[in-house]
């Protein structure tokens, strides 16, 4: 399976159309990319760790939804490269959040996932 096919599979698996509808409902008349920016800003303003984690998860899923939405518009090689890079980052963060929740369930750690050089 090619790298592009794997990315498209990941994006389709994590695509949350309800989230896209929610973002569009919260920010009517605003482009989806701008709605994602507003969600990121809201995430940064939150102080509760659990709320920040949930916001970060929403932002990552919204990013993946946005990438899937833009797939038809970016039909060139550069667009494909960008979609793959951003999808990789969003999937990475979602995976780290899941790992953190699993550790928390086992009684470990309380901080947000650390940033790595790959981010």
pTM higher than 0.85 for the full model? Answer: no
In this predicted structure, the answer to whether residue 52 has a pLDDT above a threshold of 50 is yes
Residues 71-96: tens digit of each pLDDT = 666 666 767 777 777 788 888 888 88
Residue 117 placed within a domain: no
Q: How many domains does the chain have?
A: 1
What are the structure tokens assigned to 115, written together?
Answer: 């940033």
Q: Tell me if 46 sits within 8 A of 52, measured CB to CB.
A: yes
Residue 16 placed within a domain: yes
Q: Tell me if 87 sits within 8 A of 10, measured CB to CB.
A: yes
Least confident of 5-19, 41-55, 100-114: 5-19
86 is in which domain, residue-wise?
3-105
In this predicted structure, the answer to whether residue 61 has a pLDDT above a threshold of 50 is yes
Residue 36 placed within a domain: yes
Residue with more model confidence, 66 or 13: 66
Least confident of 12-16, 34-38, 108-112, 115-119: 115-119
């Amino acid at each position: 399976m090619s790298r592009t096919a794997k990315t498209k599979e990941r994006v389709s698996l994590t695509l949350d159309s309800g989230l896209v509808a929610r973002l569009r409902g919260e920010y009517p008349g605003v482009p989806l990319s701008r709605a994602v920016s507003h969600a990121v800003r809201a995430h940064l303003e939150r102080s509760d760790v659990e709320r920040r984690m949930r916001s970060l998860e929403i932002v990552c899923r919204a990013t993946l939804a946005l990438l899937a939405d833009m797939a038809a518009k970016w039909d060139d090689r550069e667009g494909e490269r960008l979609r793959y890079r951003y999808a990789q980052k969003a999937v990475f963060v979602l995976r780290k959040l899941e790992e953190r929740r699993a550790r928390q369930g086992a009684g470990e750690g309380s901080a947000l996932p650390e940033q790595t050089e790959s981010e």
